[in-house]
Amino acid sequence: MSSYFTELARQYIDGEWRAGTGSWDLIDFDPYDNEKLASITIATADEVDLAYRAAARAQPAWAAAGPYARRAVFERALRLVEEREPEIAEALVTELGSTRPTAAFEVRLAKEALREAAHLALSPRATVLPSPVAGKENRLYREPVGVVGVVSPFNFPFFLALKSLAPALALGNGVVLKPHEDTPVTGGTLIARILEEAGLPGGVLNVVVTDVAEIGDAFLAHPVPEVISFTGSDQVGRHVAMVCAAHFKRCVLALSGNSALVVLDDADVDYAVDAAVFSRYVHQGQVCMAAGRVLVDRSLAEEFTAKFAARVGALGVGDPREASTVIGPLINSSLADDVAGVVEQALAEGATALVRGTVRDNLVGPSVLTGLPADSALLRREVFGPVAFVVAFDGEDEAVRLVDDTPYGLSGAVHTADVERGVRFARRVATGMFHVNDGTVHDELIVPFGGEKHSGAGRLNGEASLDAFTRQKWVSVQHGRSTFPF
């Protein structure tokens, strides 16, 4: 596994592994022990240009190769991931501090992304639409957009990069990927190596390891890409959208969340506790769908909160390599400081800590807070770490209001003994996804994934990826002679 961080600490441009030519090196660290994993000289704006130009040159032949040839590449890539699953999971544990169950979960999702890409390659179909004009035939074709720029995040880097780039490639596009600076290997160059070995022609996929401090908006504003797919914070996503709009590019944005898990008065309390613990603390809470807010009907609040706090207080914190660890390190010290600061601010505002995690370097233990004032800004922001706010409510109407009292609208869940009551509740809230009697963290590769409000624009997965990474073209054919008004 460690060879990944020596062999793949490079740029991948036009089918060649090469060093960057930037003036400084990006250092890749293990977030648990701060051990240096790799040093990568960053790519410059000139190398971003080279990558996009390479993708533009290679894309027409890749599209012309046909859907079956493209499908075969993803079938081979899937077999390679299956063969290397243990070392890929180990790399995720090392580079981003995933616990072993979380790393296994991510690799499982990545395999599903490759399966869906293989299927999607054969999905585009031309259709014929009727016309009111005699003898006219309206043909509607789906064509690749050309080149797609993908900016992927650190939290599930292997899967979330594949979530955009795999369907984009399968549909005949070229891709340039910019992985997050904290996960350049598992979120970038490892994927390039796998697809290279699977037979993807050189130049079709390019990976540039770089930073905005070096390239500014060059990745977004470059004239080649027609679509930018960005996964990350809403603050950065807003800037991405503005740059894309200024250059008439389409963008697909998967952004921040502040999900709520709602426990109605007829819920199974023990099951709801299980769902809430997973939904908030999976991957140390570094999940856009995580349930930062747990909303409980007042009639169940005392029982639920006691059981929830007991479960959270028993979660193992430490080395992600240990089987007993549930809470590993956050990705970097900046995020750890932010999350610790959230707890301090909540306590200063009058909240009570039923569980308060200790902080050591990037290890931030889980916290459960109650009694936060209803007007606190902390209830409305995304907290990307292991902190849960438990809030009691009186009746469904208040619960709906609380769920929606945030700029975000990504995911959520409701627990109730009456499934149809849960469905009615889910349809009242302003989110892109909502789950009845389950957790808030889900991604199924045939179901459209995305949010409302500040949680993003557009959808990915299945048919939604078809819409994201192809364009529709109308070609009409007039059989016989048309008539004109003059």
**Total residues belonging to the chain:** 486
Cβ-contact 451, 408 below 8 angstroms: yes
Q: Element (H or E) spanning 142, and its range? A: strand 136-144
Q: Cβ-count burial of 174 within 10 angstroms (0-12 exposed, 13-18 middle, 19+ buried)?
A: buried
Count CA within 13 A, CB hemisphere, residue 86. Answer: 0
Amino acid at 216: G
The tens-digit pLDDT sequence of the chain (486 residues) is 468 999 999 999 999 999 999 999 999 999 999 999 999 999 999 999 999 999 999 999 999 999 999 999 999 999 999 999 999 999 999 999 999 999 999 999 999 999 999 999 999 989 999 999 999 999 999 999 999 999 999 999 999 999 999 999 999 999 999 999 999 999 999 999 999 999 999 999 999 999 999 999 999 999 999 999 999 999 999 999 999 999 999 999 999 999 999 999 999 999 999 999 999 999 999 999 999 999 999 999 999 999 999 999 999 999 999 999 999 999 999 999 999 999 999 999 999 999 999 999 999 999 999 999 999 999 999 999 999 999 999 999 999 999 999 999 999 999 999 999 999 999 999 999 999 999 999 999 999 999 999 999 999 999 999 999 999 999 999 999 998 999
CA–CA dist 136, 132 (Å, integer): 8
User: What is the distance between the alpha carbons of residues 481 and 478, in angstroms, rounded to a whole number?
Assistant: 7
* Cross-strand bridge partners of residue 413: 261, 435
pTM for this one? 0.96
Domains, in order of start, for the chain:
4-255+455-474 (3.40.605.10), 259-436 (3.40.309.10)
Label residue 66 left, alpha or beta by phi (over 0 means left) and psi (-120 to 50 means alpha).
left
SS in 3 state form for 205-237? EEECCCCHHHHCCHHHHCCCCCEEEEECCHHHH
